[in-house]
Every structure is written in structure tokens, then in C-alpha cells.
Structure 1
């Protein structure tokens, strides 16, 4: 596990982001923490964008260390407190199903306590993990979480399926047909498996992947919008602008101006 440096987003929340070890990089996008039990309480509301992934969050500041799964298929607004220490795992698409046997459809656009989705054996091991976490030592706590995930990954005997093959080779310029071809199956079969394992269709995952790449491009550079459109798999700027505006709720130019302004203010 390695901590990323120079993180500008959510800096006022004490946001820290960590990258997983290589053996988990296909399951986990990152770990993150926000807040501190020693900080004065200030509540912030942030916009969260779906990307096909899911989260498992542990609130170390709550008396019972409440832990919940969440999978968003639409833009959501969530509240964060600077005085509440939260540790979270951001899973890649399909990871919940392959690690825990959970379909994201079971926690679609709602926060679901872990005890409603994990099996008794899984729950016993998870609660033992949570009890061992130290609020004053984020790195130690996340290291224990990663070790727990590694144990699950290494003990899970599942062959690489159609969905994993399609996701592993997914590029912004792909189509649903090319995804099905890469997975060695029909479009209809792939769509059925994606709904079960990822919680959405291949076309939705592809669109979210393009939008995530677009938001990153717009946040970090002044690249011309026509070039951003091509990088993200769109054939013209107008189509890109319409899709981005529908998905994000603001035009690419407005989004870029706001994000760059936020960076300069920090």
C-alpha cells in the first residue's frame, strides 16, 4: 500500500488516498480516509459521481464503528464531517461479487449495513478486523484492512469469468459488441452477467468509464475540448458536450472552470 501525495480534492476534510498492492489492484481502486476524531466538527456536502465501483466504509468515530456498503448508479450528494474518522475501500466494478459474492444490485443507491449482506462467517471475520483498528493510526488500520482483503482474494477459488475479461481489456473507444467479443460471449449473455456482477449494463459501465476519464482530463489540464472528446471515445465535441452535461449536470467548460478554481484556492 502506498499513499498518494499532493491530493487537492477534499483537502479541508483531511482527505488521504492510498493505492493498493499489486495483488489487489484489479479489485481495489484505492483506500481513503477523511476527518479526525481530534478535529472540530464541520459538515460538508460533496457531489459523488458513479463509475461502476462500490464502497465499503467504516466510521471509526461512531460508538459502534458502523460499517456500510454502497453502490451508486447515479450522481449523489453525501455529507462528510471533519471530526468523524472514516476509512473506506473503493472497489473496482465487479469486486464485490468476486470477493464477497454480493451483487451490487443489493445495495444500489442505498447505504446498506454490512450485517445485511455478509454471511455469518464473513461477518465474524470482519467485526474482528474492525475491533482491531486504531483510530489514531490510519496507516496501520488500512494495512490491516488490506491484509484482510488479500486473505480473501487468495482464498477465493474463482476462475476469470466473462465480466472480468471484458473489464480487464476495457478502453474508452470500445463498444458493447467489442466487449462481448473480448469476453467470448454474446451481447445478451454479457449484459445479464454484468447486471449480476457489476450492477449495471456494459454500456453503462463504458459510459461511466468515459465520464470518469473526462472529469480527470478536465480537472488537470487545459486540453482543447475536441481532443478531450477523442481521448474519451467520442467522435465529435458536440456529442461529448451533450453526454457530459447530461451525466454531470454542467457543461465541460463550466466543470473545468470550477475544478481548476477549486485547485487554485487550496
Structure 2
């Protein structure tokens, strides 16, 4: 493109006019205060498919989130989202790990938390995510909540010890959770003893491998119940449950309602 004009930075005067910082801060505060809740900055994450945003108040209740949070948990609008906590959406052991991080931020012990965690994608399948959390402060500087962003791990993060140790197991669980997968065979394939695998899962996720497998099956069942009209018996078999009775028992324990009731509420 020989005729293209090269972009040049705008010339600025050598000396900028004096701008009183206090006045500018007040102008920004006024402008931010005028923004409608539905127009806050979290909405930009709806257009960044690899990123997920959330913000919670000091009591751990979700206040705002990007669209992917709604998709992950089968929520339809703000009325479904606002007020939910990690314990409403995740198994207790995982929720406790999330809220433990929040408490450190709320207490001021740390200013940022970054870690590699396991979440679930739109199909209810396990997937890694890099989570960054920061405290939210009010106009007086008091911590009044927590906000966070999730993104897929990059090449460097995939070298973390936890990722290397468990990635093979997670990959197998992701693809074969609907079959007759056993923890014994999984540990053998990964070159670990059952006890070593249990320790790794417990340390990283706060779950045993068996609990993780059940959570994966339940999460996948939630996706099928929301997106299809397949009979419960078919969904139970597709997700690896021995029978519909076992499916109902585990589903109610993790979700709080029966599969049939969940399916009716989703359609």
C-alpha cells in the first residue's frame, strides 16, 4: 500500500495546561455516578468470549456478571443472578475455596489473588481457567466487595505443576465421563496411585476424584436438561449414571431439586 499515509501520534504541546487533580476526580465521580447499572463496564465482557467477569458484594452475593456466567449456570436474567452465592452454584468444597479467597481480599490481607482453577464450560465439561480477583472499594476506600476475571491459561501457565499432574486426568474425565470410567483406571493411566491422585485432587480442587467425576456428570446433565427435551432415562445414561434412580439422587444432592423439576423450570 504505497499510497497509504502512515499514522503519526498527535502532537502535544511541550507543557500541558494545569489541570487540578481534585476537580478532575470529582468530574469523573459524577460521570461514573450517572451510568445506568445495565451500562456498567462489565457488559464489554459479553463481547470477549474467552473472558468471564463477575462482581460480588461483601456478603459474597453476585451483583453483576458477564453473559458467560449466565450460560454456565443456566440463568436467564438478572432476577435469576442477583443475590446468588458460590454455595448456591457450586459444591460446598469448591465454594469454600472461592470464598476463602474472597475473605482474604475483603480483610485487606492481600490486594490481588491469581490462581489456576478448574471451572466448567457451556457444555458442563471441566476446563481450566486462570482467575484474577481484586477488592472493590467505595468512595471512602472501604472494601465492599470482590470482582474477578476468568480466562483460559496461556502456554506458560500450562507448565504449572498442578496443571501437569492433573491435566491428563481432567482430559480423560472431560471426554469419557459418560462411560464406565473408574478412578482406578484413571489413576493407572496417569501413572499415579489412587492415594496420590486423591491427594492431588483434594489439594487443588477440594474434591476427591470420585466427587469430581460426579460433579462433571451432574453439570453435563444440567446442560442437557436445559437444552434438550430428551427423556430423563436417556440423559442419565448419556452422563454415566448407572440408572435413573442414581441420577436423581446425585442430581438432587448437588443441585437441590430433582432432574424433572429442573427440566420443567428450564423450558
Q: TM-score, normalization: structure 1?
A: 0.50
Q: Normalized against structure 2, the TM-score is what? A: 0.50
For the pair shown, the structure with the greater C-alpha radius of gyration is 2
